[in-house]
Structure 1
């Protein structure tokens, strides 16, 4: 508890520093012909100032919340479609939706979701749609449309539609705080209602908005990822570049998360608070899988495009694998060498029955800011000869004799023999690393193929 409190105060301190730079930017003034991107930056700066102020005001409430997450006695729910929600699922897919003047992608989102799921996938998940609008005509029509298209899923208990309303709470809307305040407020209310309702339905919770396209077998991807991370601490796993959609949480954290969101005015953007929540629970950097499995279907209106800009996957191109020396304490065979796992060609490293603690170590010739790392072991199609449990760590502070790094930070575990993650750095940490370590965490009784380690490093800017 005390550790979380100190971490919270550290976040506040960093935001106060950010405020200084915001004020400097404000002093310069805003030109009349400000571009759209500049306007978005100004809105974000104003929002950051609001968060700084509100964090100071609500520090004592957060301290209490850590002990006893708030219950929402003024949240009212009505089950509009679906059977009684009994039992425990592996995953709740939560989707919130409201009435929009320019139409809705909710039905398209549900179509994509069910088409992307196998019969086995459907046994592990509950799809929960929360409608938070008050227009009875829209509610009736939306429920009728969902029931007409997805009746088998409703009858099987895999799909439920709930109407939720939230009365007075700690979260208040404020007039004139930002051009996007009303939209942020509506989204915040919907998310709080959705998370509060879903807090006891499953082990994990996936947050989606109502304009999302799902990749095939996304449930399987999430299942294997959370299984690999089961013994490691995490708060949020990001499976998409979108700001809110594609985030997976422990369901046990949903009550605290809903309470945390209510500590702040509803017109503060949700995605900023989601990031702060992870940080306060000691996840210091995002855990973001490089290959998105959720994508935006479309936009609702020009106003929402401005207030909810769609983040696209960054194309980093091909890996560049900086010059390095490769070491291993594993026994190789078939005349394969450790370097084969790092050179960008079709060669691979074969090792005999690795045991817990074995490693493959890449020591870079000079420190680099690595921004993405990928590892492939075994045969991807046959699912054979891959590392069942292993981790990737990044190291710094190079030591000689033998070559190694003195300190390491975890990127993540391999998921079914593979890893592909973006790399993030803590604010006050070393930004350039010298080692990439593949660490075996459980003994294997079969030969393993280490096919490829791929590295993307930030390109150094040339000095003029």
Structure 2
């Protein structure tokens, strides 16, 4: 049997290694696809896997043509496999950004700034808060500080006509700040969203809300990728906030105070994704995380997960808050968003309305799952001395308003009035019932158990007079059994007891 020399064995190994290295280099450095192939695949992807596909050029040279864009929404087949996205194509759209194409109005600065402020913006029903937000940021950014700050407005709505008109309006209103590079108006020329109707419901959210928050995560991912090299730090805001004087110096001070600590982000507000600051060097990883898990959780929960993965063990939050939410009409359709940051300077806590001995109604706690509009609280309807009423937009099937007496009562009459002269349509309908209960159990709060229905509303009012009173009543409950198209005012409740 012939023997192999050491030299021949070494030559064979070297040859094998050279072939392996060549194959590896070809795999690494050969482009995945030619650009034309990518574009063709994206167009194919559009018809199967996306809600809409934006392919309108928006470079400075052809900006005059974008007004001819048409609103379009692609019909999506009911193929059960059509929601399976090609992740490679999705990454191409979000990570391979042509900044010059994406920029509608504005200029790139040669010098890197200190802070990029990101403002995603979509169309809201009959209202916009963006101008107020911009005015607040401009007013409270000193002229000497504006070279350090870039405000990026991302018009992310699928309605191209709206995008074009809004871009022109903002440019006209803030012309000098746009030309200086202080403000950039951005809309991606090539972007696709998944077919949201196939997403999995989580957190007991409606499918509409799941789609809304999933799109938000994709928008955050795009904004972070677009903004990653502009400044040293990146601040996420929304298009319906205001700030305070000296916000930039306070941000710098808080960063300096926490430089030696391990953190992925710092908070300058107590409200979700508003006022969250990242190092720009961390943006690629954050953007990728949001993109990969866009349909799993709301963005603020996702970054909390990533925070722990990156070794940040606690939140570092600046107080008082530097940003306050002001929008009432949410970007989520048919949602009214009334929450505000209690740590923002100037926040006024609504005055509580309490029972007094002169009240004509018996002492009780008012419980409801309907949020009040501004300071028009639930108690105002039951305690007439407040001279106000309860006004709410949370008028959906399953909403309730409950009066839980401190002590059991014998009830001889009940009158409840809804709507008022200024808002006569904001009233309870005949699908709203009134019931009484003789016991209360603490189940997910306070539950008026074994309720006995005693009638329905008619023309926005409920009246009941009894010759024989209901004895030992612990709770009176008003329950909505269908969604209302309008808000509801409950202006006066009178319960006569013996």
* TM-score normalised to structure 2 length: 0.46
If asked which structure has higher relative contact order (CA below 8 Å, sep 6+), I would say 1
* TM-score normalised to structure 1 length: 0.49
